[in-house]
């Protein structure tokens, strides 16, 4: 499992190309479609034009945490929603994982909803007000509650 993690974040090269065959087929959708992931589309890849558009990742288990590495590595702002995970130990593991990725990619991380939504963005960027409003509309951005 550690080897797959290291390969997924680009720190190790795979020994065999066959190891990289995806178990589930992923689809590509424009960012205007399916902004909030549901169970049918968990893990779908999104195409973004502006770097200041927030990529929303909804995690339902620790196994889904590999979904947040690539967009952070590419310099996107990422909102990670772990509210569906009830086990506090797994939630803490995910927060530790996000913190590590943010540190390695020179990004900053902050909580934007007290129930478990985190925002990771490159240290040289700030959250545009239009995206903050969109996140508030989706129920992801709620700081003063």
Total-model pTM: 0.64
The tens-digit pLDDT sequence of the chain (145 residues) is 777 777 777 777 777 655 444 444 444 444 444 445 454 544 554 444 556 689 999 999 999 988 899 999 888 999 999 999 999 999 999 999 999 999 999 999 999 999 999 999 999 888 888 899 999 998 889 876 5
Superfamily name and number for 2-137: SepF-like protein (3.30.110.150)
Quick one: DSSP state of residue 106?
T
What's the confidence (pLDDT) of residue 111? Answer: 93
Separation CA 10–CA 7 (nearest Å): 5
Going from N- to C-terminal start, the domains of the chain cover 2-137
Distance CA 91, CA 95 (A): 6
Question: Three-class SS string for 68-89?
Answer: CHHHHHCCCEEEEECCCCCCHH
Question: Which positions ≥6 away from 70 have C-beta within 8 Å?
Answer: 8
Apex CA 69: angle with CA 65 and CA 71, to 5°?
120
User: Residue 59: its pLDDT value, please?
Assistant: 92
């Amino acid at each position: 499992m550690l080897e797959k993690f290291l390969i997924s974040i680009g720190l190790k090269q795979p020994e065999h190309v066959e190891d990289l065959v995806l178990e589930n087929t992923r689809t590509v959708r424009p960012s205007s479609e399916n902004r909030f992931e549901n169970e049918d589309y968990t893990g779908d890849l999104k195409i973004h034009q502006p770097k200041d558009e927030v990529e929303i990742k909804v995690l339902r288990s620790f196994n889904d945490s590999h979904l947040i590495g690539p967009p952070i590595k590419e310099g996107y702002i990422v909102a990670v929603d772990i509210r569906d995970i009830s086990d506090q130990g797994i939630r803490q593991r995910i927060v530790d994982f996000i913190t590590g990725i943010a540190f390695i990619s020179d990004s900053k991380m902050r909580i934007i909803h007290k129930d478990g939504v985190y925002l990771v963005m490159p240290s040289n960027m700030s959250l545009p007000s239009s995206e903050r409003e969109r996140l508030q509309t989706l129920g992801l951005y709620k700081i003063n509650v």
